[in-house]
Amino acid sequence: MLKISFIGDVVPGGVLSYFRGENAVSKSIRRILHESDIVVATLESPFGDIKTVSTDKKNIIHSPAEDFFRLKELNVGVVSLANNHILDLSSEGFEATLKLLESNNIRHCGAGRNLTEARTPAFIEKNGLKVGFLAYCKQNYRFLGKVHAADEKNAGMAPLETDMVLEDIRKVRPECDLLYLILHWGIEYTWLPTPESMELAELFINSGADGIIGGHPHRVQPYRYYKNKPVIYSLGNFLFPNTIISPPKLMAYPDGVNALNYKRLPQMGYYQDVDRTTLRIWKPLSRIGMIVNIKVEKGSQIMKVQFTKADKYRSVLSEMNSFYAAILKLFLFTLGLGIRIPLYRFVFHRILKLY
């Protein structure tokens, strides 16, 4: 038997940097993650200093290297780097992040020093099974902003291009017992996966993938089995704390701000340009995340979903109250039935006009 836990977007810094002597997650969540054989996350933050910022972005997210221990606290063994922020500190910060991961024996996939490396799978062998992970990020997509796609000479993401993904599945699938795709896609702050994402998930599973794990919308979305294989359209945020924003839109750790006074800063709910140091607080629905536990036994995959909730200011995680978790699960189940009707594409594009 093998137990794999998938968690959503992780940014180890933010206001949690002011509480390094304290746990970021509750004892029950730590127990869940440390009982897993493999914990997989999306690392949506490079480690480093703001001095190495990317010159063509103003929405910069980063974590101090001193906060790397949070990944160990979560028992993370594999990270997807295929997202729109991992190169926010330019190639220098990206290289420093890779070295931190590699020196701590955390596998990574989805981004690299060149396209070949970005497309290289991460493998872990546990309990007699070899598990592979591939990761990709949408590009030229207005809901993701600036995405640095890798090429043969420059660092960046593995782009979510259908032919490329299919080629990688055909190549990698014979090398492992299970193959999961981690995909950065979708529209922020919505419950609904795009019809295109749903079609891609089925195509990739039909082509050999054993599960599809989605992220980026900063909100949980419906999940399902397709041909007895798990499809999660969005895990939502996991450990993505509130952040301090300095003009114009830079995540910052300014001098003079500490655990005693960061709550006194002006506050905002969404990323936007600011003219003074501001505390960015996640809206309630973006403070909800999922842990998807997949138990692999006798060739089958059994999926169990648990919901987490971050508190308003500290962003410390705990398990969601069982009553509210049951309501949310019912809501997502009902929504999941609705998005599978034949008219969903028409409703999504023509009536809801989401894009």
**Residue 252 belongs to what H/E stretch?**
strand 250-252
Per-position DSSP letters for 115-175, written without gaps between them: HHHHTPPEEEEETTEEEEEEEEE--S-TTT----B--SSS-EE-B--HHHHHHHHHHHGGG
Distances (CA, A) of 267 to 45, 188, 252, 282, 283: 22, 20, 14, 10, 12
Are 9 and 218 within 8 A, CB to CB? yes
pTM of the model: 0.96
Q: Please tell me which residue, 55 or 110, carries the higher pLDDT value.
A: 110
Give residue for tokens 């490396």: 117
Phi, then psi, of 320 in degrees rounded to 5 = -65, 145
For residue 140, count CB atoms less than 10 angstroms from its CB and return exposed for 0-12, middle for 13-18, buried for 19 or more: exposed
> Residue 209 is encoded by which pair of tokens?
């993938």
Q: Where are the domains of the chain?
A: 2-242+282-351
- Judged on CB neighbours under 10 Å (0-12, 13-18, 19+), 194 is buried
The distance between the two most distant Cα atoms of the chain, rounded to a whole number of Å, is 58
6 secondary structure, DSSP code: E
- Taking the C-alpha atoms of residue 88 and residue 60, their distance in angstroms, rounded to an integer, is 6
2-242+282-351 is a CATH 1.10.3660.10 domain: no
User: Is the pLDDT reported for residue 274 higher than 80?
Assistant: yes
Average pLDDT rounded to a whole number, residues 94-111: 97
3-state secondary structure 286-328: HHEEEEEEEEEECCEEEEEEEEEEECCCCCCEEECCHHHHHHH
Q: Identify residue 89 by its one-letter amino acid code.
A: L
pLDDT at 316: 95
Question: Does the pLDDT at position 176 exceed 70?
Answer: yes
Per-residue pLDDT reduced to its tens digit, 247-261:
888 899 998 899 989
Average pLDDT over residues 168-193: 97
Read out DSSP for 192-237?
PPPHHHHHHHHHHHHTT-SEEEEE-SSSB--EEEETTEEEES-BBE
pLDDT in tens, 236-247: 999 999 999 998
pLDDT tens-digit map of 158-167: 999 999 999 9
Query: What band does 355 get if pLDDT is binned at 50, 70 and 90?
Result: confident
Q: Whole-angstrom Cα distance, residue 125 to residue 103?
A: 19
Calculate mean pLDDT across residues 86-104.
94
Say whether pLDDT at 143 is over 80. no
Min mean pLDDT across 69-73, 179-183, 257-261 is at 257-261
Tally DSSP H helices, then E strands, for the chain.
8, 20
Give, to the nearest 10 degrees, the angle between helix 195-206 and helix 162-172.
30
pLDDT score for 249: 86
Q: Is the pLDDT of residue 232 over 90?
A: yes
Kindly report, residue by residue over 202-215, the tens digit of the pLDDT. 999 999 999 999 99
- Residue 55 pLDDT greater than 70, yes or no: no
pLDDT tens digits for range 293-308: 999 998 899 999 999 9
